[in-house]
């Protein structure tokens, strides 16, 4: 695969500018609170890393890894936790950090799972949202960009574990 297959959808500067806006909104909304950010591995790692450096209040971070699988290669609705949190979230202000909401199946599962652990508050920030692809209703509380129904890679997002390192978010031209 060469770089010729790639078409930039969101350039690094646009991503950074939008992340600053999200960080400002989050800093304002959680002022005086002890915020715990939960990154969803692996795609959200780069987004979370950039986000926390622009948030102006103290935050803690933790990570979860989930996999969705079934007969289809796209999300099946069967979600399994591969790595759980290292701490209890009971009574905490929790913000799930995700790279992209597609069918909504992963986040609706994760949201319900974490809600059952009695956090004080539970919200979701996603960098990208593909609303056209929803199979279950799911509305993130904060969203970086709504994008059309294209498969995107870069800035943490992968295709078969490739391209996560790219600074821009790109479409793979088939």
Residues that bind ligand IMP (CB under 6 A): 43, 68, 75, 98-107, 151-153, 157
Burial class (CB in 10 A: 0-12, 13-18, 19+), 23: buried
d(CA 92, CA 41): 21
Which one, 33 or 123, has the nearer CB to ligand IMP? 123
Which one, 30 or 97, has the nearer CB to ligand IMP? 97
Cα dihedral sign, 138-101-173-6: positive
Q: Is 154 in the site for Mg ion (CB under 5 A)?
A: no
d(CA 114, CA 102): 19
d(CA 94, CA 122): 5
Closest approach of ligand IMP to the CB of residue 8, in Å: 14
Q: Which residues, numbered 33-52, are part of the site for Mg ion (CB under 5 A)?
A: 43
Q: Is 156 in the site for Mg ion (CB under 5 A)?
A: no
Active-site positions? 102
Q: Is 104 in the site for Mg ion (CB under 5 A)?
A: no
Binding site for Mg ion (CB under 5 A): 43
């Amino acid at each position: 695969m060469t770089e010729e297959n790639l078409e930039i959808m969101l350039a690094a500067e646009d991503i950074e500018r939008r992340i600053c806006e999200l960080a400002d909104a989050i800093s304002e909304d959680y002022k005086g609170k002890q915020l715990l950010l939960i990154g969803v591995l692996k795609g959200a790692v780069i987004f979370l890393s950039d986000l926390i450096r622009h948030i102006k209040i103290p935050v803690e971070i933790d990570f979860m890894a989930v996999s969705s699988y079934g007969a289809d290669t796209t999300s099946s609705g069967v979600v399994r936790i591969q790595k759980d949190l290292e701490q209890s979230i009971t009574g905490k202000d929790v913000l799930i950090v995700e790279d992209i909401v597609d069918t909504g199946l992963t986040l609706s599962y994760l949201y319900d799972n974490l809600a059952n652990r009695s956090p004080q508050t539970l919200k979701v920030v996603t960098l990208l949202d593909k609303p056209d692809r929803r199979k279950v209703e799911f509305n993130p509380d904060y969203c970086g960009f709504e994008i059309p129904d294209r498969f995107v890679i870069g800035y943490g997002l992968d295709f078969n574990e490739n391209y996560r390192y790219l600074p821009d978010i790109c479409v793979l031209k088939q």
